[in-house]
Structure 1
Amino acid sequence: MNLNFKDTFNTELPADPVHENTRRQVMQACFSYVKPKSTANPSLIHASKELAQELGLTEDDLKSEAFKSLFSGNLVLPGTNPYAMCYGGHQFGNWAGQLGDGRAINLFEVNLNNKQWALQLKGAGETPYSRTADGLAVLRSSIREYLCSEAMYHLGVPTTRALSLALTGDQVLRDVLYNGNPEYEKGAVVCRVAPSFIRFGNFEIFSARQDKKTLKTLTDYTIRHFFPHLKEGTKEGYLHFFREVTHNTLDMIIHWQRVGFVHGVMNTDNMSILGLTIDYGPYGWLEGYEEGWTPNTTDRQYKRYRYGNQINIGLWNLYQLANALFPLIEEAKPFEDILLEYRNNYSTKYLSMMKSKIGLFNTDKNDAALLNRLEENLQLTETDMTIFFRNLNRISKDNLSNEDYLAPVMDAFYVQEEVKGDTLEKWKLWFTDYQNRLQKESIGDSQRAERMNNVNPKYVLRNYMAQLAIDDADKGNYSLLDEFFQLLKNPYQEQTSAEKWFVKRPEWARHKVGCSMLSCSS
């Protein structure tokens, strides 16, 4: 393997002086050196050839013993110094103190074609930040992270990526339902890739400890490497940095809403400073359009991280980041002004995104009201989000007879018999107003349909699909894993051989473990 190593995080930032891999509070340091845990009998299940190429790896590299050993945790390359990051975070609205990379170990950074990448193993063993956990991961959660990282990338959603998925040959004890019945599962390791894995919590921990020196060092480092057009070391630069983080965070969440993705655990330690989707745990895709849905069993009662609240949580998390950066500015109003921009920009960007989903590209004063009614109608009866918006492109500008209004989208309704009475009348009224609005568009039906297809995916990683791949993989069959991996490379394209995956969630999956709500267990 010919990788161009260019470490920055563990060469420019203060290190933990203690080298023992013991759980502890790590002070005045951004990371701790730690090596991955050796695994019993590793085997490579899958690897992304496209991402490997971006890193400077060849197909022969992917087949090599060295690749398998390196990305399963059994090999540390000469000249590299693996480490785990120190950070804190707010979890479900409460300050949790020091958290850190409890089951992630950063191997090294590489640079190719002026692009910087950090490579990190998830599930490679304990670190000083593991608290009471073992630092390992299981096949179940690793498949979900591996598939979803790359699926989101091809959807055009800002995200960390995944290079490889490997079995460790070890058994890992997990309580998947948190009900006191743990069982052994197959251990696995995913190699995650991103320009950086720095989170909001990296800044919060130093601010909480009143360690302004390390906070400033980390902030300057982040600006220098990832926002180089800004001036580090100045109040003006820090405020511009915060403004760009707010913009990037908003753009990411708008994309989540566009494709129906629910992160499930938007704690501040799971928020990327670069505006990337990070930490794929109990995520989920909307099946029925439901603003109050959350995939996280831990969030079942209060639904803090529900689909319709993600944009508000993004703002709440940014407030915590502003508090963390405050010692560098010592003025509240500039932060407040930037956070107000987030609120205002959200209204504008969300409206623009939703208009694109229903094929409206000209301006009309009544568009917001039309979209509000649509979102209300979608919740009158269980309606599949992906199918509804994808098939909406079949609506013609030409008036249809009343009984034909719903024909193009009828497949999206779970119980079609419920679309009657008042529900039917509301839909007929909406489609009448929608078609009248389409008359004001300057483009024809075919061009509008093409543009709608570029924002409304046909294929997403529904939870039941991921669970099918997991069930097969647990039996040693990885063909479905690869089928989904290939399918989701082209989520906006018609794929005639894959029509069976453009369907509503089957009834058997409605309450099956892993297909509806999930725990944080991995």
Structure 2
Amino acid sequence: MQTSAPEWIPGFDNSFVRELPGDPEADNFRRQVLGACYSRVEPTPVSGPELLGWSREVAALLGLPEDLQEDPQEDPQAEATREELAAVLSGSRLWAGMEPYAACYGGHQFGNWADQLGDGRAITLGEILRSNDGEDTRWELQLKGAGPTPYSRRGDGRAVLRSSIREFLCSEAMHHLGVPTTRALSLVRTGDEVRRDMFYDGNAELEPGAVVCRVAPSFVRFGNFELFAARKDHETLRRLADYVIAEHFPELDAGDYAAWFGIVAERTAEMICHWMRVGFVHGVMNTDNMSVLGLTIDYGPYGWLEDYDPNWTPNTTDAHGRRYRFGNQPRIAAWNLTRFGAALLPLVDEAESIQAGLEAYAERLSAGVLSTYADKLGLRSIDADEGSDQPGSGPWLANTCMDVLRGANTKVETDMTIFHRQLAEVPMDPEASDEAVLAPLRPAYYGEYDRRELPPKLRELTLRWLRGLQARVRSEGLDPNQRRAIMDGANPKYVLRNYLAQEAIDLAEAGDPSRIHELLELLRRPYTDQPGKEHFAGKRPEWARHRPGCSMLSCSS
């Protein structure tokens, strides 16, 4: 299955399999794997690989061809390149130097220990070591949906086109939004069908299959360490921690596990702040979906807030308890870090060092939230000591903003993305009429309230908040153009709204991948006004309110 790599493929340097213990069993069958960080396994070839999506930015990171013609029939070399990439990135062919494997890990799922999980439908092809600006960066290439592994349990190791489109687009959209994330290089349709029961209700159907190539410096997660700690395999636990620190945290001294945990905690806080800033809901924040690099990983039943509802979760599996709802994400990240810290206790001298890391998370999160709100509201800064109950103070403005978005206990629904983007249009002149101050926000309201008067309670609160914001802005004396730039840099105009992804899925399943390309291009510049693309910034249409894929999703691929 392995062939020589084309000359434009960099060499592979596979440190994970070189430095860490592997599973001695060579056959690919479901089993418990002990004392090993991975199992070697090759992807399963597909019948008709077709390249549907390509990220030129990620290709540049890897030294791969950046611009691939979408219709290369007139250029035999371009066509051969696409065919070669489709074959390898679907798992149908390997290049020399690749050493594919599936990682072994466990995790807490929905708050309960699940024991061994592992890469059930993800297979790492290998690692590319690239030098950028004099610094070496390691990039792991991982195929999602490339066939069964020893960790597939009852699954087939495959992924369907709809979930693969969502992961491909969202990985790149999040990067361009400035959110720490894994990346996506490619989207390949396999030519094969996969049977899935989307909502686990007995209505399984055949769907087109696909494979996404995910890219990150590492996909190691909290659950990798939890499994070895649960098994009291402290030797493998230590070896894995030493490897991660040496390879991905070279600024730390070997064996400084407490300092490492503190850095992971702070990076996690930074990631969560960005999620909350752009209205992203991960949907399945299990500890096996938490990166030790502070990256967003495993895009499954995620969603974007349309009307602002802190209790919303896109995950049908989580519909009852809403553990992973938007407003609960900061608390769940802390809970997950506590589980990760507990797994590291055999390696640290004192439990207090783990507690210090958890406190670092809380401090970074608090500071990050205030900094985020300062940018979103166009303020110089917000100080936690100002007093949250003092009208016009930074904390009061941030807290009251959330009350306004929630509709002040009325039935008014407010689009979070549009509201914050339009906030830059609100006049800061204290002499402006009430209607002039409210008018820029009307496009953010759903239903009839984009035209008619707001309910008295919400109107009064919104005006009081906006007048308080005006006073604060005047007191700070920030240049209006500078303020506008800060706000537009924190409040995206374009996000991957659920219905936009679903429209791309519908077209692609009918044989038209053009919307994938159009959205990928749009989301490269989410903070920039793009003439002719305004319809992509609009509110969720009514048809998408309760449609599967737009309102609710499941963990099923």
TM range (shorter): over 0.9
User: What do the CA deviations read for 1:30-62 (whole angstroms, capped 9, x no partner)?
Assistant: 000000011011111121122112101124598
Choose which of 445, 449, 459 in structure 2 pairs with 1:413. 445
Choose which of 233, 256, 280 in structure 2 pairs with 1:211. 233
User: What do the CA deviations read for 1:410-449 (whole angstroms, capped 9, x no partner)?
Assistant: 1001131471211111111111111111111222222211
Matched letter for residue 371 of structure 1:
A
Distance in 2, Cα, partners of 1:500 & 1:340? 43
Moved more, 406-415 or 181-190: 406-415
Q: Does 1:446 align with 2:481?
A: yes
Q: Which residue does the alignment assign to 2:207?
A: 185
Question: Partner of 2:532: helix, strand, or coil?
Answer: helix
Q: Which residue does the alignment assign to 2:521?
A: 486
- Contact 2:141 / 2:215 at 8 angstroms: preserved in 1? yes
In structure 2, the gaps of 5 or more residues are 1-5, 68-77, 387-392
Choose which of 216, 219, 223 in structure 2 pairs with 1:194. 216
User: What do the CA deviations read for 1:110-165 (whole angstroms, capped 9, x no partner)?
Assistant: 01111110000000000000000100000000000000000001111110000111
Choose which of 282, 286, 292 in structure 1 pairs with 2:305. 286
Distance in 1, Cα, partners of 2:315 & 2:305? 13
Matched letter for residue 374 of structure 2:
K
Moved more, 210-219 or 43-52: 43-52
TM-score by length of structure 1 reads: 0.98
Q: Which residue does the alignment assign to 2:390?
A: none
Choose which of 198, 201, 215 in structure 2 pairs with 1:176. 198
5 Å matches for 1:108-119? 108-113=126-131, 114-119=136-141
Distance in 1, Cα, partners of 2:370 & 2:262? 21
Alpha-carbon offset, residue 369 of structure 1: 1.4
Q: Which residue does the alignment assign to 1:499?
A: 534
Matched letter for residue 281 of structure 1:
G
5 Å matches for 1:7-406? 7-58=14-65, 59=67, 60=78, 63-113=81-131, 114-233=136-255, 237-363=256-382, 365=386, 366-380=393-407, 381-399=412-430, 400-406=432-438
Distance in 2, Cα, partners of 1:445 & 1:46? 40
Alpha-carbon offset, residue 330 of structure 1: 4.5
- Contact 1:90 / 1:268 at 8 angstroms: preserved in 2? yes
Alpha-carbon offset, residue 363 of structure 1: 4.9
Distance in 2, Cα, partners of 1:433 & 1:45? 50
Instruction: Tell me: CA distance 1:254–1:22, structure 2 relative to 1, closer, same or farther (3 Å).
Output: same
Question: Partner of 1:406: helix, strand, or coil?
Answer: helix
Q: What is the total number of aligned residue pairs between the two structures?
A: 519
Percentage identity across paired residues of the two chains: 53
- Root-mean-square deviation (CA), in Å? 1.2
- Contact 1:118 / 1:193 at 8 angstroms: preserved in 2? yes
User: What do the CA deviations read for 1:217-250 (whole angstroms, capped 9, x no partner)?
Assistant: 00000000000111113xxx10010000001111
Matched letter for residue 479 of structure 1:
S
In structure 1, the gaps of 5 or more residues are none
Question: Partner of 1:497: helix, strand, or coil?
Answer: coil
- Contact 1:359 / 1:448 at 8 angstroms: preserved in 2? yes
- Contact 2:45 / 2:91 at 8 angstroms: preserved in 1? yes
- Contact 1:397 / 1:445 at 8 angstroms: preserved in 2? no
Distance in 2, Cα, partners of 1:363 & 1:25? 51
Instruction: Tell me: CA distance 1:214–1:502, structure 2 relative to 1, closer, same or farther (3 Å).
Output: same
Alpha-carbon offset, residue 78 of structure 1: 2.4
Moved more, 408-417 or 117-126: 408-417
User: What do the CA deviations read for 1:159-191 (whole angstroms, capped 9, x no partner)?
Assistant: 000011111111100011211100000010000
Matched letter for residue 344 of structure 1:
E
Question: Partner of 2:505: helix, strand, or coil?
Answer: helix
- Contact 2:50 / 2:83 at 8 angstroms: preserved in 1? no
Distance in 2, Cα, partners of 1:384 & 1:485? 22
- Contact 1:47 / 1:62 at 8 angstroms: preserved in 2? no
